Amino acid sequence: MKHGSIAALLGLVLCAPLTTSGQFLHHGTGRYQLRSNDEIKVTYHLTPDLNATVSVQPDGYVALPEIGEVRLAGLSLDEATEAITMKAAARLNKPEVSVEIVRFEKPHIFVGGNVGKPGQYTLNGPLTALQAIQVAEGFKDTANMKHVLLIRPIGEGVGETTVLNLKRSGSKHTTTETFVQDGDTLIVPENNLTAVSRYVKLINPGVYYPLK
């Protein structure tokens, strides 16, 4: 892996979403986990006047009338129900709560740089980095296939950069079987790439800058 600074490349803004079906599942349990922009319906069976349909905010919280804010991002529906019930118990007597998904944000990746069709793509199942490039209509003639950048969110507003060698050859150093995950960004640079930052700051989806 190479390290350094390449702000111009990591500052790419990716667009052109592709909409298909998909779900964001916990790899261990297989249960759906709530995430930002998911819309849920919260029902209070004993106090229906508090029923509400709310969206998970970018910081992972929902704002519930009379109850307050509850962090739900990363929780299953059962866990979300328990979290809301515990929060509501501070104001209600033995609340009975249920939670259902009205609309969920589909898992996706971003592919940009020297590919045929840069943009956001829905992640429907296991997909390697090379397959993701193919979904984006493949490499351009100017692409540096040996130094493709994989940027993966690892915390609050921070992503880690890995350099992948996606050039098909007999070399044992190729990384064509690397799988992408929800939220990953692949950037295919031009042939004159020099060095990249290992850790980058996530500004918006598809927009990254090296940490100083």
Q: Domains of the chain by range and CATH? A: 7-22+106-210 (3.10.560.10), 39-103 (3.30.1950.10)
CA nearest 74: which of 105, 115, 114? 105
pLDDT band at 12 (very low <50, low <70, confident <90, very high): very low
Q: H or E segment at 28?
A: none
How would residue 202 be classed by pLDDT, with cut points 50, 70 and 90? low
Which CA distances in Å does 174 have to 23, 114, 163, 168? Answer: 30, 19, 11, 7
CA distance 10 to 159: 11
The pLDDT value given to residue 11: 46
Q: What does pLDDT average to over the chain?
A: 78
pLDDT of amino acid 19: 31
Residue 206 has pLDDT above 80, yes or no: no
Amino acid at 201: K
Tokens of 159: 């992503």
Lowest-confidence range among 63-67, 75-79, 101-105, 162-166?
A: 101-105
As a whole number, mean pLDDT of residues 168-177 equals 60
Our measurement of the distance from residue 195's CA atom to the centroid of its chain's CA atoms, rounded to an integer in Å, reads 25
pLDDT at 198 over 80: no
pLDDT greater than 90 at residue 111:
yes
